[in-house]
Structure 1
Amino acid sequence: MFRYIGLLSLAITSLSFSQDCNFTLLGELSDFHDGTPIVSATIYIKENDRYITSDFDGKFKIENLCKGPLTLTISHIACETKTVYVNITGDTFKAITLEHHIEELGEVSVTGNSTKQETNTAQKAVIEVNEIEAFSSGSLADITRTISGVSTLNTGNNIVKPIIHGLHSSRVITMQNGVRMQDQEWGLEHAPTVDVNALQEITLVKGASALAYSGDAIGGAIVLRPIKAYNRDTLVGKTIAVYDSNNRGYTVSSSLFKSYKEGWFFGGQGTYRRFGDSKAPDYVLSNTGLDFKAFSLQSGYRSFEESFNVYYSYVDNEIGILSSAHIGGIDQFIESIESGQPSTIQGFTYDIKDPRQRIRHHLVKAEYERRFSNLGKLSIQYDYQSNQRQEFDRRRGDFRGVPSIDLLLQTHGLQTKFLFDSNSNVKVQAGIQSQYQDNFADPATGVFRLIPDFQRFDIGTFVTSEWKLDNGYLLEGAIRYDFNHIDAQKIYREFRWEERGYDQDFADIVVDENIAPGQLLTNPVYDFHNISVAIGAKKRIDKHEFALNYSLSNRAPNPSELFSDGLHQSVARIEVGNLRLGKETANQLSATYTYQNSRFKVLVEPYINRIDNYIFIAPTELGIRIIGQAGAFLEYEFLGTDALIYGVDLNLDYLLSERLSIKNSTAFIIGEDLKNNEALIDMPPLNTRTTIQYQNKEWNSLAVGLTSDFFAMQNNFPNYNFLYTVPSTGEEVLVDVSTPPQAYHLLHFNSSIETKLFKKNTLEIGFSIQNILNTSYRNYLNRLRFFADEVGRNFQVQLKFNY
């Protein structure tokens, strides 16, 4: 028995030694994008436990292999490590591609303070996560205002939207995680519905690259990138808690993300913010509280060849409107101007009463990307948004608690684009984008609808390109075509229809002349065809850099500009649209000069923008209108003119020592109404910001800074003042709705320190003071400046725990 076992063992041993192990594997490594060889890559052979490297041609050879499986792990600087399985059945050749631009797996790669460049020849600015976190209790516009040339348009202290070179609302688009935000941004008191704590980076994009997002972004595109999962097996998170003394407000935000080395990831983030009434230096700003809730979820798979992700976000924001801004008529408005203080001053409270706004916004996005060897990347995206805006006024009886405006805007978007990037010196991106919108104005409000029901369809196609020339020049170019279709169901009151001469010019759009007593139903339909073009060039000479850009942009009027008609109680005025408005056409020329050495950097950005059919809102010639028992109200209308906007942005950075630096940003802008030979309304005044900052990493990353903000008085403004006869006295008074407030100067302080709690956990403590001197002032670009001063001194404490 033992003899047979021995013979069998000998036979098996002899068979194994006779196995053919003379096979050779020849491999070739190349860049997935352009096919260039990957030189000096490291190849680990698991079965043999040894390493080899690729040669100058990207090739490698493994000899004396036996039949069977072979596992190779390939790594290279700036490449994603890749594991390849090869079944050896004889002499074998294996071509292997690597992603040699791993930073492109995400839309942005952040290492320290570096970011992927969004545009090369046009004006741009990037705000990174550390700066964003300093504004955890603030708004998107509060953050972007730190960029030279960007101001804010305010409705009180909690509704803030960005102004870029004098342009705002529909002329400035917001891209949230690749989705154009549709949150009824046309309203001057409609701020972007965004949770800043969900963001990793904010980029202001202009020029050729902006045409990949939209053709009507005359002011620019604000690109928001959410917190991204890492490209490795890890679990990371952070929690930020903030307390503000002025409004006794608190903000808590947490995020947690898990990713796996195989490429799968998922994560979530949430924020809760609660403010009570803010306080001016001399009084409480009654009913200025805020109740903000938001969360987002994302999941997907990511590799260098293909990826997909699903994203969902929800924002529920309730905002109190300053009580004294809710006036019963022009008499109270005059009284507010003359008294210099709010007509209603009550004690502090967290309660939010009428008037108020409530906005609920859902966003869903699904995206798929696929890379093709030696060609580029294809991406396909679908997104859906639901935005419900409710505005509540002080109402009595059966309508108590019923909103006076209740709008539901639903938007479906579908887009596909292809990036050709196989040639490192030439990049071309082409795409097509479509969007369908349905707006429903709920008639259950019992109020004549300010904005009507409408459907809107948009489709656009674009091509952008970038060339790197041998002589050191960088060129960019883009062209885009957009088609916009608007189909509305609008009810007009007969007196308004005839007063504006619509009965002569638009009789063909009347559907029903007796929809209700004194009212008629119309069906205005608009089609717009828009062409946009942008070209730019940049040249670097030693420490000097020069860039020049030209862009042609077109923007169709939005539904608010066309169809508004009625009392807008949240801003205490009547707003009237204009069916005669055409599309805006903007021709903009801008230049950038940069000088930088090891200690000093200066950046100068002059620009000039000619906009034909520029649309704006201003008081009517009548000035006021009486509405039944509600009283007399200011009346504003949308108008068109030809405008010229020009200015310059200046940025200076100087490193005084290794730890001490000083920065200054200054913006100057002029807006001219060419048809009426007067200044444009709502142009930002001259403003300058200077910050002195001390940093010492050896002292627990201590940072201390002092900031000075100066805003000059706006001396270039149109005169829309009018005379009004007070019914009770018969006295004729001048109603001043035009004169800007005086210049003002503010000082702010900020500090932070970081300490390690555990091996991989840190705690950052921040302390800051806004408006150190508790200065009383009024902001020309705050639409409630007639009723109250701005917010006074605020002490802020922030805790950030990284884990």
Structure 2
Amino acid sequence: MKRFFSKNFALWSMVVLSLLSTTLPAFAQNSNSFRIIVFDAESQLPVIGVSLSRHKDIAPTKGDGILQISPSLLKGDSLHLHAIGYLPLTVAVQEVRHHQPLRVQLRPMSNQLNEAVVSGQRVLHTQNAVSNSITTADIAKNLGNTFAGMLEQVSGVSMIQTGSTIAKPVVHGMYGNRLLIMNNGVRQQGQQWGVDHAPELDASAAGRVTVVKGAEAVRYGSEALGGVVLMDAQPLPYGQRKIMGKLSGLYGTNGRKYAVTQHLSQSFPLFGGDAAWRAQGTYVNGGDRSTGSYLLNNTGMREVTASAALGWRNSRLELQGFYSFYSTQVGVLYSAQMGDEELLRERIKIGQPVNFYPWTRSIDYPHQKVVHHVGKLEGRYTFANKSRLSVKTAWQHDDRREYNQRRNYRSMVPTLDLRLNNFQTDAQWKHTYADNWSSEIGAFYGAIDNYNEPGTGVVPIIPNYTQQNLGAYAIQKYTGHDWGAELGARADHQTIDARGKNIFGENYGNLTRYTNFTYSAGAHYHVLPQLDVLTNFGTAWRAPHVHELYSYGVEQSSGLFARGDSTLRPEVSAKWVTSLRYASKRITASVDAYLQWIDHYIYDEPTKEVITMVSGAYPVFQYRSDNAFFRGIDADFSARITPKLHYTVGGSMVWANETKTNRPLPYIPSFRATQSLAYHFGHLGHLHDIHAKVTHRFVAKQTRFDAKADLIDHTPPAYQLWGAELSANFVMRNGHHLHILLTADNLFNLTYREYTNRFRYYAHDLGRDVRLMLTWDF
């Protein structure tokens, strides 16, 4: 018990602080007036400039988002709130009288066709790029879910899995080092090179997540072939003088998982400017998961995360510091570790475990432990001519340990013990002039030092290596009334020095240097009042990772033996994405189509060999490369059938094959579509925003499949999953809100397999999961 509380001291401290904060006098009501506090429904920040219709005597909201209303003006049945860029909101006068202060939310107008996604004052991507965003409200619903699982809400995004707890996002068939993840403006660097290595990220810590589907190599450099995932926390609450936050708790039936997360924020004056802070912590604990038919032994997980940000700004200068901590332990399904070759082939033939043990919350061997730290310092200065200079430096440390069942009581000694240190710094200068023109230039430097900790008793799967990246870019934009365009170019240089010893004690590795030039061109055009078209063409590149070049060993969670190829060449890509977006009062629709050509596309496929080691027998997967052609389409449609009934449907399809032989590439997602029907009941007493939704997901059988590139000669059949959601807000007398959310996935407990799950050889996917989540906003 003592160890538990000491390990999670930061998390428990924030929970206690949130309870104490509700007693602060800052929330005391002014007896001479009524108050309405207005928040942005997506960012959860106070909204500035909110006013009341037909009440010109009431001052609009300022930085704290508060409307002060005298009792003499509180007449009639309702008040009408409006602000530029937001949908109007009607509030019952009776609610204002009985709930003080009353907290309400304004929803931003849906106008993502001609705007860039902005977090605070930093533009995250160009308005000429095709992108989709996940709002704060949708992110909050994914407490306890994986980062990749949360991203599946976006059409064209799926995930490649290794069992029930490890998943990586897939965008247009691209995953791993082809998909760049920006964590609060920092390039995510960890041991994410293996399919069985998930990104070291807490999905619940994000304020907004944006998936940019084009090749964004000009702005972000290498590894952005498939696109960029921008994960940013909520902007610091400048002007918010009171401690505000939320506390969420969750329980899920599958794995008997429970989770708690805490967010706190405040602003205060400092040194003639405005300072603000934000803190967050999450704890997740789950036991053995289950399919629709049986238990998956040793699939429990633990996760502890925390982050804090502190910023200061005045009219010209803004400074910000950020730190995050991520720690996880995940169990590996027993069935992935086979005793000998005969047993391996028999288990693959059966397709599921043959031995079952009682459910447990404990995690046995084999398992993984990962600890990841991120620290960032950032400064932005605005010159008199309105140009802006941003400088940012960041540090990351990643510690990955993998444990197997070993003889002679050595299971507690990791078979893989990797340490990674990363330093990166970049600078950007942006200037807008002549009303329509803007220029942007930037430079980046990054260094990685990755080494194997000695003493494991096992030859490391990859050698020690150092890597250095240097890049510079320039982008020129024109933005008119109905259209805009941009051109960009970038130069990159990368050096990798890898050195190691193989199982025979022989030295291997090499010093390699890569230089590449990339460019992009994009445009958007407002064709009709409701119709926009966006198009973007860009080149990108990616050097082969050390894992693809030199790996020789077991990928623990995947249950396979990986073998690299030191002759692999860099991937070079060209991608063209075009999007049509339609939006009216009742209907929104979008269609994204893309073509992508990749020279020297790198992937692994089975050789039909089996290597038997002390820990078991493993199929051999060899890395190779071929020229490849990807193309596909994403589509979304949403209709407001009645003011309370809302229907949405979205689907995606991707084709990928070698250009020379036309052979289908492995592990490409099959066609999938998701539809939902939602009904808004309104309010009942103190319950507000009562909402019910039914979802249906269809995933087709992957028929574009080459049996020679797989362990088995067939793909799983198509499957359909149903889900449900019921939510409501309970308004307390002190104005605080309690959000109640009940969700169910795989409602009918279907037993199925997903083609892109590498554990499909040994087990089925997850069964029914019913989750109850309570969130207290204060």
TM-score norm. by structure 1 comes to 0.80
Question: Matches of 1:465 and 1:126 in 2, distance apart?
Answer: 25
Question: What's the counterpart of residue 521 of structure 2?
Answer: 535
**CA deviation after TM superposition for structure 1 residue 473, in Å:** 2.0
Question: What's the counterpart of residue 95 of structure 1?
Answer: none
Unaligned runs of 5+ in 1: 1-41, 43-74, 82-100, 104-109, 494-517, 723-735
Question: Matches of 1:528 and 1:241 in 2, distance apart?
Answer: 48
Question: What's the counterpart of residue 579 of structure 1?
Answer: 566
Amino acid aligned to 1:289: G
Residue by residue over 1:674-714, the C-alpha shift from the partner in whole angstroms, topping out at 9 and shown as x without a partner, is 23331000000000000111124444111110000000000
**CA deviation after TM superposition for structure 1 residue 102, in Å:** 14
Residue by residue over 1:564-615, the C-alpha shift from the partner in whole angstroms, topping out at 9 and shown as x without a partner, is 1122333222111111111111111111112222211221111110100000
The match for 1:412 among 400, 415, 423 is 423
Question: What's the counterpart of residue 437 of structure 2?
Answer: 426
The answer as to 2:731 corresponding to 1:756 is: yes
**CA deviation after TM superposition for structure 1 residue 400, in Å:** 2.4
Question: Matches of 1:298 and 1:319 in 2, distance apart?
Answer: 28
Question: What's the counterpart of residue 488 of structure 1?
Answer: 498
Question: What's the counterpart of residue 250 of structure 1?
Answer: 258
Residue by residue over 1:397-454, the C-alpha shift from the partner in whole angstroms, topping out at 9 and shown as x without a partner, is 1522111111101101111111113454222221111011101112311111101100
Q: Do the aligned partners of 1:208 and 1:464 also contact (CA within 8 Å) in 2?
A: no
Question: Matches of 1:602 and 1:322 in 2, distance apart?
Answer: 41
**CA deviation after TM superposition for structure 1 residue 631, in Å:** 5.3
Question: What's the counterpart of residue 58 of structure 1?
Answer: none
Residue by residue over 1:190-220, the C-alpha shift from the partner in whole angstroms, topping out at 9 and shown as x without a partner, is 1111112211000112447663223330011
Question: Matches of 2:709 and 2:136 in 1, distance apart?
Answer: 45
Instruction: Give me the identity figure in percent.
Output: 27
Question: What's the counterpart of residue 140 of structure 1?
Answer: 147
The answer as to 2:750 corresponding to 1:779 is: no
What's the Cα RMSD here?
2.3
Instruction: State the secondary structure of the residue aligned to 1:685.
Output: coil
Question: Matches of 2:420 and 2:522 in 1, distance apart?
Answer: 37
Instruction: State the secondary structure of the residue aligned to 2:723.
Output: strand
**CA deviation after TM superposition for structure 1 residue 76, in Å:** 11
Change (3 A) 1:79 1:417: farther
Change (3 A) 1:356 1:119: same
**CA deviation after TM superposition for structure 1 residue 280, in Å:** 1.1
Instruction: State the secondary structure of the residue aligned to 1:293.
Output: strand
Summarize the alignment of residues 295-306 of structure 1 with structure 2, pairs less than 5 Å apart: 295-306=306-317
Amino acid aligned to 1:391: E
Question: What's the counterpart of residue 190 of structure 1?
Answer: 197
Change (3 A) 1:791 1:632: closer
Question: What's the counterpart of residue 676 of structure 2?
Answer: 691
Q: Do the aligned partners of 1:711 and 1:745 also contact (CA within 8 Å) in 2?
A: yes
Question: Matches of 2:555 and 2:295 in 1, distance apart?
Answer: 25
Amino acid aligned to 1:789: H
The match for 1:671 among 656, 663, 674 is 656
Change (3 A) 1:611 1:456: same
**CA deviation after TM superposition for structure 1 residue 340, in Å:** 3.5
Amino acid aligned to 2:574: N
Summarize the alignment of residues 144-155 of structure 1 with structure 2, pairs less than 5 Å apart: 144-155=151-162
Question: What's the counterpart of residue 112 of structure 1?
Answer: 107
Q: Do the aligned partners of 1:642 and 1:673 also contact (CA within 8 Å) in 2?
A: yes
Residue by residue over 1:224-280, the C-alpha shift from the partner in whole angstroms, topping out at 9 and shown as x without a partner, is 111333121232110010000111110000011111254111221100000010111
**CA deviation after TM superposition for structure 1 residue 337, in Å:** 2.5
Question: What's the counterpart of residue 6 of structure 1?
Answer: none
Summarize the alignment of residues 75-474 of structure 1 with structure 2, pairs less than 5 Å apart: 112-113=107-108, 117=117, 118-207=125-214, 211-232=218-239, 233-261=241-269, 262-397=273-408, 399-469=410-480, 472-474=482-484
**CA deviation after TM superposition for structure 1 residue 628, in Å:** 5.5
Amino acid aligned to 1:125: N
Summarize the alignment of residues 570-609 of structure 1 with structure 2, pairs less than 5 Å apart: 570-609=557-596
Change (3 A) 1:111 1:218: farther
Q: Do the aligned partners of 2:255 and 2:287 also contact (CA within 8 Å) in 1?
A: yes
Q: Do the aligned partners of 1:208 and 1:536 also contact (CA within 8 Å) in 2?
A: no
Q: Do the aligned partners of 2:291 and 2:765 also contact (CA within 8 Å) in 1?
A: yes
Change (3 A) 1:392 1:337: same
Amino acid aligned to 2:475: T
Question: Matches of 2:617 and 2:289 in 1, distance apart?
Answer: 29
Q: Do the aligned partners of 1:323 and 1:344 also contact (CA within 8 Å) in 2?
A: no
Amino acid aligned to 1:431: G
Question: What's the counterpart of residue 512 of structure 1?
Answer: none
Question: Matches of 1:448 and 1:633 in 2, distance apart?
Answer: 16
Q: Do the aligned partners of 1:393 and 1:570 also contact (CA within 8 Å) in 2?
A: no
Q: Do the aligned partners of 1:208 and 1:535 also contact (CA within 8 Å) in 2?
A: no
Question: What's the counterpart of residue 624 of structure 2?
Answer: 639
Question: What's the counterpart of residue 652 of structure 1?
Answer: 637
Instruction: State the secondary structure of the residue aligned to 2:447.
Output: strand
Change (3 A) 1:785 1:179: same
**CA deviation after TM superposition for structure 1 residue 77, in Å:** 10
The match for 1:714 among 702, 713, 716 is 702
Compare 396-405 and 185-194 and name the one that shifted more. Answer: 396-405
Question: What's the counterpart of residue 13 of structure 1?
Answer: none
Residue by residue over 1:732-784, the C-alpha shift from the partner in whole angstroms, topping out at 9 and shown as x without a partner, is xxxx4352111000000011100111433110001011111110100101110
**CA deviation after TM superposition for structure 1 residue 324, in Å:** 1.1
Q: Do the aligned partners of 1:286 and 1:344 also contact (CA within 8 Å) in 2?
A: no
Q: Do the aligned partners of 1:265 and 1:300 also contact (CA within 8 Å) in 2?
A: yes
Change (3 A) 1:784 1:76: same
The match for 1:476 among 486, 503, 526 is 486
Amino acid aligned to 1:223: L
Question: Matches of 1:603 and 1:227 in 2, distance apart?
Answer: 27
Change (3 A) 1:633 1:139: closer
Summarize the alignment of residues 7-22 of structure 1 with structure 2, pairs less than 5 Å apart: none
Amino acid aligned to 1:121: N
Question: Matches of 2:705 and 2:341 in 1, distance apart?
Answer: 22
Instruction: State the secondary structure of the residue aligned to 2:352.
Output: coil
Question: Matches of 1:134 and 1:424 in 2, distance apart?
Answer: 41
**CA deviation after TM superposition for structure 1 residue 79, in Å:** 10
TM-score norm. by structure 2 comes to 0.82
**CA deviation after TM superposition for structure 1 residue 629, in Å:** 5.3
Q: Do the aligned partners of 1:695 and 1:701 also contact (CA within 8 Å) in 2?
A: yes
- How many residues end up aligned between the 2 structures? 665
Instruction: State the secondary structure of the residue aligned to 2:506.
Output: strand
Question: What's the counterpart of residue 665 of structure 2?
Answer: 680
Amino acid aligned to 1:378: L
Question: Matches of 2:62 and 2:217 in 1, distance apart?
Answer: 28
Summarize the alignment of residues 597-636 of structure 1 with structure 2, pairs less than 5 Å apart: 597-620=584-607, 623-627=608-612, 632-636=617-621
Question: What's the counterpart of residue 791 of structure 1?
Answer: 766
Question: Matches of 1:465 and 1:757 in 2, distance apart?
Answer: 52
Question: Matches of 1:343 and 1:794 in 2, distance apart?
Answer: 23
Q: Do the aligned partners of 1:203 and 1:223 also contact (CA within 8 Å) in 2?
A: yes
Question: Matches of 1:656 and 1:296 in 2, distance apart?
Answer: 42
